Amino acid sequence: MQEDLFSASEKGHAAAQASAERADREIDDWTLKAVALFAEYAVKAQSPFLTEEARVFAESHGLPSPPDGRAWGHIAKRCQRDGKIISAGFGAAKSSNGSPKVLWRKT
């Protein structure tokens, strides 16, 4: 049975949230710090950016890598829900062998 796109997206978001929850269990306040640094990067970015660019910024500012990189998907969606960023198309991600990923920009 073929899974519909909406169902696949829901599963992806659930996995990202579970990954962020794991990061919080293993690293004090990881999600809180990641959201703050992601939002800070969004304000400083000169053009639309990929989540991986915000991740590099956060890690260069002392945030440890989460145990599962999918946690960054939760951070991006949370910033979007909080009105800090909006989607701005798609761009090729180095972390995914050039696969298209969402570009973000500040609101």
**Per-residue pLDDT tens over the stretch 57-93:** 999 999 999 999 999 999 999 999 999 999 999 999 9
Say if residues 80 and 19 touch (Cβ distance below 8 Å).
Answer: no
For residue 13, give every residue at least 6 positions away whose Cβ sits within 8 Å of its Cβ, in sequence order, or none. Answer: 73, 74, 77
- CATH code of the domain covering residue 53: 1.10.10
Q: Could you tell me the residue range of the domain that residue 78 belongs to?
A: 5-106
pLDDT tens digit sequence for 24-70: 999 999 999 999 999 999 999 999 999 999 999 999 999 999 999 99
- 98 - beta bridge partners? none
Domain count, the chain: 1
66 exposed, middle or buried (CB, 10 Å; 0-12, 13-18, 19+)? buried
In angstroms, how far is the first alpha carbon of the chain from the final one? 39
Residue 12 pLDDT greater than 80, yes or no: no
pLDDT confidence of 1, banded at 50, 70, 90? Answer: very low
pLDDT of residue 103: 98
Say if residues 63 and 18 touch (Cβ distance below 8 Å).
Answer: no
